[in-house]
Homo-oligomer: A and B are copies of this chain.
């Protein structure tokens, strides 16, 4: 039996005195903003910076949740697997996203870097201390959890009740807002994830994703200058489709 040997990428760990939270890109949008500026050294001391190469799984479903993460750069996909390999991507984690809410001793999902990802890692114990010392951070976590719950319910609606066209439209509209609601919309969308990722996120196959995107293109709703780049031509039509007003 031939065996492919895959070099397991070593996760580079950078724990240095240089690690500073005060000019972290993620802070404005992350739970860390609950900690006042003059105490940021506490936060820096509790965390370790990691560099994750693309394709690396850094959280595995079912493994003990000994540490939590904060994404400070890049995009990760969060997913669950069935024994036969079927996959459901439950979300994409961008700048500022806190990983470790859906947890009950063990992680309920796996996480894999799509492009080069930078993480802040907090051990469970150290985070516990931080939360006890900064109740505001716990409040922020609750806020974040509430928002994720809203998003999750929206996704259930999509997966349970929307058609392929509606799912793709919803996805594109969401991406045009940078993955979060209430953000300014951009016509140009970067798609760091593959078609397969999009399919597994929307509960479809890659063929259906591909076909539907070409439909949208022939209908002049979008343009696809490159594989990982997309231009929205008719946002209103897509929004109507997404909210199923058609």
Out of B82, B103, B244, which one reaches A157, CB within 8 Å?
Answer: B82
- Whether the pair A84, B244 counts as a contact (CB closer than 8 A) is yes
Determine the distance from Cα of A243 to Cα of B103 in the docked complex, in whole angstroms.
19
- Whether the pair B142, A104 counts as a contact (CB closer than 8 A) is no
- Whether the pair B161, A86 counts as a contact (CB closer than 8 A) is yes
Determine the distance from Cα of A148 to Cα of B83 in the docked complex, in whole angstroms.
23
Which residues of chain B are near A70, meaning CB under 8 Å? none
Decide yes or no whether A154 CB sits under 8 A from chain B: yes
Q: Smallest distance from the beta carbon of A191 to chain B beta carbons, Å?
A: 19
This chain's copy number in the assembly? 2
Determine the distance from Cα of A131 to Cα of B88 in the docked complex, in whole angstroms.
35
Decide yes or no whether A203 CB sits under 8 A from chain B: yes
Q: Smallest distance from the beta carbon of A143 to chain B beta carbons, Å?
A: 9
- Whether the pair A86, B145 counts as a contact (CB closer than 8 A) is no
Which residues of chain B are near A139, meaning CB under 8 Å? 138
Question: Which 3 pairs across A and B sit closest by C-beta, in order of nearness?
Answer: A160-B203, A152-B152, A159-B159
Residues of A within 8 A of B (CB): 80, 82-84, 86-88, 90, 101-104, 108-109, 135, 138-139, 141-142, 145-150, 152-157, 159-162, 200, 202-203, 243-245
